[in-house]
Structure 1
Amino acid sequence: MKIGIKHRLFFIVLTASVIVAVGMMLLTLWSIGRGFRQYVNNVERERLERLATSLEASYGQEGGWEHLRDNPREWSRLVLQSVPERIAPRWVLDRLQRRLGGRPLAELLAPQNGTDLGEGDEPTMSPALAQLFQLRVFLQDADHTMLVGPEDRDPDLKQELLPLRFQGNIVGYVGLMQRKRLVDRRQLVFLRQQKVTLAIIAGFMLLVSALLSRPFANRLVRPIRALAEGTHRLAAGNYETRVQVERRDELGQLARDFNRLAMTLEQNESARRQWVADISHELRTPLSILRGELEGLQDGVRQATPEAINSLHGEVLRLGRLVDDLYQLAVSDVGALTYRKEPLDLAEVLDEALEPFAQEFEHKGIALQYDLGPDAGRTVFADAERLHQLFGNLLENSVKYTDPGGAVEVRLEYDGGRARVHILDSAPGVPERELGRLFERLYRVEGSRSRETGGAGLGLAICRNIAEAHEGTVAAHTSPLGGVWITVDLPTEEH
C-alpha cells in the first residue's frame, strides 16, 4: 500500500513525540528517584552530624562512653534529639520520649512474634523497621570497638563514620549503615504518585501531539501538493501555471523558483513561436518573389532578359544571406562557433575592420572619424576572425542606416582592465524604448529598416553572442550625433 507524504509526516512527528515523551518520563523518574534518595541521605547525614555533636558534648560531661553503653535510654534520647525540627517538632520528640518509659528505642519499635515470648525466643522486626535510622546508627570507641548498636551488621552495607573529638583527640566514632533501598511507606507512596503523575502527563502529551500532528502535516504538505499539481500542468504544456506563495521558508522559496521557471518557460515558448513566425515570414517573402518571377517567365509574361535574371539572382542572394545568418546565430546559441583565441592588439583589429568600409562611407557621403586612443599596444585575449565579424556587422549597420551626408564616429578607450569600442552614427535614430530590443533576433525598428536596405535582423543578435563568448557585453544608447551609439565592452589581458 502506498503511503502518502502527509501520513509519513504524521507518523514521523508522532513517533518523535513518543520517543521524546517516554524518554523525558524515564529520565524524570530516574532523576526524581535519585534526587529523593540523595535528599534522604542528606537528611540522615545532617542528623548524624547533629548526633555527633551531642555525643561529643555527652562525652565531655561524663568523661567516657560507659553511661551510653550501660544506659540504652540515654542513647535513645540522644538519637531522638538528633531529628531536625523541620522534620519532627520538639513536642513530638518529647511525647515519643515519654512513651519510651525507660525502654530503649529499638525495643519499642520491635514487633513481637506473639503475645508471649517463650524461653529462648527473641523479638524480630520487619525489614521496613530494620531500615530506620535509629536501628542503623552505632557508636564505636577510638579503637573501633562496638559500644552501642546492632551487633549483626550486614557486611555488604556501606558505612559512614564520623570521628568524635574531645580536646582535639579522637575519642570514638559514630556511624550509620547506608540504606539498601527506600522502604518508608510515605516515601514509597510519594514516588508512586510521581510515577503515576508523570505517566498521565506523558499520555496527555502524546494525545496532544497526535491531535496537532495531523493539521501540522496537512499544512506542511499543502504547498507541496500545490507544487506537484503545478508541475503536472507545466509538464502538460500549460506555461501560464503559477502557484500561490504564502510562506517565507524553503517551501516558499521553492514556490517562487517554480513561478520564475514557469514564467521563463512561457517567455521561451512565446519567443519560439515568434521565432518560427518571423523565420517563416522572412523566408516567404523572397520565395514568393522568386516564385512570381519564375511563373511570369514560364507563362511568357516576362522575358528572360538580363534584368530579370539579375532580379532573380538578387533574391537568391538575399535568401542565401538569410540562411547564412540563421545558421551563424544557431551555432552561436549552442556554443558551436569555433573560437581560436590569442592575445590581440585591439587597435589593430579595429583598424583592419574599418579599412573595407572606408570607400562605402565615402561613396555615401558619410564622414568617418575614428580615434584608436593613445594607449596602443593593449591586448585582449580573443578570436581575430570573430572580432572582425562583430565590428563588421556593426559598421555595416552604420553604413546602411545612416542618412547620406551624415557622420560616423569610432573610438577606442581603456578603463582599468576593460577595453571599450564606441561606434556612434547620425540620424536616423531609434526610439529610446526600442534600444533594448535591437539585439533581439529578427527585430526591426519600424521606419528605420527594410528588407531592401537591411537584413533579416539577425546581425546584432550574432554580435551579442560573440561579445558574450569573449566575456564582454554590447549595448545600445542614444547617440549625441542623432543616431545610435553602440558600445562593445571587452576585458583586457591585464583584467
Structure 2
Amino acid sequence: MAMTKGLKIRHKLFAVFVLSNILLIVSMWQVFQWSFDRGFVSYATERDRDFLEQMANRTANLYIYYDDWYFLVQESRMESEWHKAKLENLRDLVPPPSTPNLDLIYPSQYYRQRFLLFDSQQKPIIGKTRFADAETHAVSVNKKIVGYVGLRSIRELVQDQTLRFVRQQGEAFLLISAFMLAIAALLTWPLAQWLSRPIISMQKATKKLAAGKFDTRISVKGADELASLSCDFNNLACTLEHTREARKRWVADTAHELRTPVAILRGEIEAMQDGIIKVSPESLSSLHQETLHIARLIDDLNQLSMHDMGNLSYEMEDITINDIIEQTVQSMTLPFNEAGLELGFEYSQKNPIVMNGDSDRLHQLFSNLMNNSLKYTNAPGKLTVKLLKKNKKAIVLFEDTAPGVSDEDKNRIFEQFFRVENSRNRATGGRGLGLAICASIVDGHQGTISAYHSPDGGLGIKVEFPLN
C-alpha cells in the first residue's frame, strides 16, 4: 500500500497490465512443466518398465552361464574408466573396452548410462542409486531371486538428449515470453495513458468546480462508465450553477421585497417626526399594516428556508382529505363572493379518501392555492376544486377562469419571488412566495404539484398525494 500511495492511475494501470502478463507467462510455464511431467516423463517411465523386463530376462540367462555378478561388475568398471579417460582428452590413446555382456543386456547407449544392478539383498552392485529411488525388476533363476536390474530416474539424466531438447524448448519459451512481455509493455503504456485521460480531465474539472467555477463542463465521449460519470459531473456542475444563481436571485429579491415596506415605514415615521403627518389612529394603522406585511414576508421566508434545510416539522397522521378541502372551501366562500367569484367543490365518489398528512399544513396549502385564484381571477369568474382517486393517489385539481398564463410562466410559477406580471406591484403580484410555499408543503408530503391550462380559460393546478 505504501509503494502505490504516490502512484498515478496511469502508472497503476500500467503495472496491472504488466503484472497480469507476467502472471500469465508464469502460469503458462507451470502448465508446460506439468504437461511435460504428465506426458513425456510418464511415457518414458512406462517404456522403461517394458524394457526392464527384457533386461531382467537377458541378465538371468547370463547369470545362469556365469553363476555370479562379477562379469558385469568388471565390464562396468572398465567402461567407467574409459569414460574417465575420455573426459581427460585421452580418447584417441585409449580404445573403447570390450563389453559384450553389457551390450547384450542393453544395446542402446540411452540405457547404458542409467543401468543399475542390485544383489538379492537389494544392495547396489553397479551404480550408487538407492534401491528405493530406482525403477527395478527382479532377476529370477529357477524361481529364485538372485538380484535386481534397474534404471536411474529419467529426471536425473541431465545429459540426455531428449530432456535437453525439452529444456531448450522451455528456454526458448521463456525468451519468446520475455520478448512478448517487452512488446506488451510498450503497447500498454500508451493504452494506460489513453484510459486515464478522461479521469485526468475529470480531476482537473473537479478542481475548477471546487474553486467555484460552476460553468466547468467535461466533454462526454462514448457510452461506458466513465462517460456516465462525466454526465453526472456535468449535471452536478449545472445544479451547482443554478443553485448559485438562484441564491443570488433569492438574496436580491428578498432585499427588494424588504426594501419597499421598510422604505414606506421609514417615510411615514419620518413624516410624523417632521410634523408632515399627524399621529392619528389612521396613520398608526398604516404603520401597523406595513409592519404586518414585513412580518408575513419574514414568516414566509422562514418557512421556505426551514423546508430547504429539512427543519420544517410535519405532524403526520391519518386524515380525511375531503373534510380538509370542505373546511377550506367554507372559510374561503365569503371572500370569493365579495370579489364576485364562485367557489365550488366536486367529489363524485361515495367513500372519503384517507391519507397520511399534516392537517394544518394541508389547510395552509389549499388556502394559498385558493387565495392565488382569488387574487388573479377576473370577476365574474369561478374556481372549481375537484378531488379524485386514481392509481393509489389522491388528486386535487384547482381550475379557475381567465386570465391564464403563458407556457413559459406556467413552468416557473412555483419559483420563489416569481410573479406572472413583470412589475413589482404587490397589489397585483403579491410577494411571489405563496405558490413556492405550496410546492414545499406538497414536497413534505412526498407528493407532486404542477400547473396546466385550465379548461375554463384560466390556470389549472394539479396536486397529487400518495395513499400508500
Normalising by the smaller structure, the TM-score range is 0.7 to 0.9
Matched, 1:409 2:369: no
Aligned counterparts of 1:41 and 1:321: Cα–Cα separation in 2: 102
Residue from 201, 208, 224 that aligns with 2:176? 201
Equivalent residues in 2 for 1:226-375, closer than 5 Å? 226-304=201-279, 306-375=281-350
Residue from 6, 10, 28 that aligns with 2:14? 10
Residue from 33, 39, 48 that aligns with 1:35? 39
Q: Structure 1's 447 and 249: CA in aligned 2 closer, same or farther, altered over 3 A?
A: closer
Question: Could you tell which deviates more after superposition, 311-320 or 375-384?
Answer: 311-320
Matched, 1:445 2:420: yes
Q: Structure 1's 271 and 128: CA in aligned 2 closer, same or farther, altered over 3 A?
A: farther
Shift of the alpha carbon at 1:307? 4.6
Aligned counterparts of 1:151 and 1:113: Cα–Cα separation in 2: 16
Aligned counterparts of 1:299 and 1:135: Cα–Cα separation in 2: 131
Equivalent residues in 2 for 1:57-72, closer than 5 Å? none
Aligned counterparts of 1:123 and 1:264: Cα–Cα separation in 2: 95
Aligned to 2:111: 132
Tell whether the 8 Å contact from 2:45 to 2:154 is kept in structure 1 after alignment: no
Name the amino acid aligned to 1:3. Answer: G
Q: Structure 1's 124 and 347: CA in aligned 2 closer, same or farther, altered over 3 A?
A: same
Aligned counterparts of 1:298 and 1:23: Cα–Cα separation in 2: 98
Tell whether the 8 Å contact from 1:131 to 1:179 is kept in structure 2 after alignment: no
Aligned counterparts of 2:213 and 2:95: Cα–Cα separation in 1: 102
Matched, 1:223 2:202: no
Aligned counterparts of 1:208 and 1:45: Cα–Cα separation in 2: 46
Structure 1 stretches of 5 or more lacking a match? 56-64, 72-103, 139-143, 145-149, 163-174
Q: Structure 1's 375 and 432: CA in aligned 2 closer, same or farther, altered over 3 A?
A: farther
Tell whether the 8 Å contact from 1:111 to 1:124 is kept in structure 2 after alignment: no
Aligned counterparts of 2:443 and 2:80: Cα–Cα separation in 1: 107
Aligned counterparts of 1:117 and 1:224: Cα–Cα separation in 2: 76
Aligned to 1:431: 406
Aligned counterparts of 1:235 and 1:292: Cα–Cα separation in 2: 45
Name the amino acid aligned to 1:17. Answer: N
Shift of the alpha carbon at 1:46? 7.2
Shift of the alpha carbon at 1:111? 3.9
Aligned to 2:89: none
Tell whether the 8 Å contact from 2:44 to 2:154 is kept in structure 1 after alignment: no
Q: TM-score, normalised by structure 2?
A: 0.77
Tell whether the 8 Å contact from 2:116 to 2:126 is kept in structure 1 after alignment: no
Name the amino acid aligned to 2:6. Answer: I
Aligned to 1:78: none
Aligned counterparts of 2:209 and 2:203: Cα–Cα separation in 1: 10
Residue from 393, 396, 406 that aligns with 2:371? 396
Tell whether the 8 Å contact from 1:435 to 1:477 is kept in structure 2 after alignment: yes
Aligned to 1:155: 131
Shift of the alpha carbon at 1:9? 3.9
Aligned counterparts of 2:404 and 2:278: Cα–Cα separation in 1: 42
Q: Structure 1's 464 and 227: CA in aligned 2 closer, same or farther, altered over 3 A?
A: same
Aligned counterparts of 1:47 and 1:267: Cα–Cα separation in 2: 90
Q: Structure 1's 430 and 231: CA in aligned 2 closer, same or farther, altered over 3 A?
A: same
Name the amino acid aligned to 1:384. Answer: S
SS at match of 1:242: coil
Name the amino acid aligned to 2:35. Answer: S
Name the amino acid aligned to 2:153. Answer: K
Q: Structure 1's 18 and 66: CA in aligned 2 closer, same or farther, altered over 3 A?
A: closer
Alignment deviations for residues 383-432 of structure 1 (CA, whole Å, 9 cap, x no partner) = 11111111111111111111111011112222242211111111111112
Question: Could you tell which deviates more after superposition, 218-227 or 435-444?
Answer: 218-227
Tell whether the 8 Å contact from 2:52 to 2:137 is kept in structure 1 after alignment: no
Shift of the alpha carbon at 1:12? 4.3
Q: TM-score, normalised by structure 1?
A: 0.74
Q: Structure 1's 34 and 178: CA in aligned 2 closer, same or farther, altered over 3 A?
A: farther
Question: Could you tell which deviates more after superposition, 215-224 or 153-162?
Answer: 153-162
Aligned counterparts of 2:96 and 2:149: Cα–Cα separation in 1: 30
Name the amino acid aligned to 1:443. Answer: F
Aligned to 1:469: 444
Q: Structure 1's 176 and 239: CA in aligned 2 closer, same or farther, altered over 3 A?
A: farther
Q: Structure 1's 321 and 111: CA in aligned 2 closer, same or farther, altered over 3 A?
A: same
Shift of the alpha carbon at 1:229? 1.4
Q: Structure 1's 134 and 308: CA in aligned 2 closer, same or farther, altered over 3 A?
A: closer
Aligned counterparts of 1:181 and 1:43: Cα–Cα separation in 2: 11
What is the aligned-residue RMSD (CA, Å)?
Answer: 4.3
Aligned counterparts of 1:371 and 1:300: Cα–Cα separation in 2: 56
SS at match of 1:445: coil
Question: Could you tell which deviates more after superposition, 233-242 or 363-372?
Answer: 363-372
Identity of aligned residues (%): 37
Matched, 1:180 2:183: no
Question: Could you tell which deviates more after superposition, 304-313 or 417-426?
Answer: 304-313
Tell whether the 8 Å contact from 1:10 to 1:213 is kept in structure 2 after alignment: yes
Tell whether the 8 Å contact from 1:25 to 1:202 is kept in structure 2 after alignment: no
Alignment deviations for residues 164-208 of structure 1 (CA, whole Å, 9 cap, x no partner) = xxxxxxxxxxx9845412536421331231132022123213322
Residue from 24, 29, 46 that aligns with 1:25? 29
Tell whether the 8 Å contact from 2:14 to 2:192 is kept in structure 1 after alignment: yes
Aligned counterparts of 1:411 and 1:448: Cα–Cα separation in 2: 32
Name the amino acid aligned to 2:7. Answer: G
Aligned counterparts of 1:335 and 1:37: Cα–Cα separation in 2: 77
Shift of the alpha carbon at 1:289? 2.4
Shift of the alpha carbon at 1:134? 11
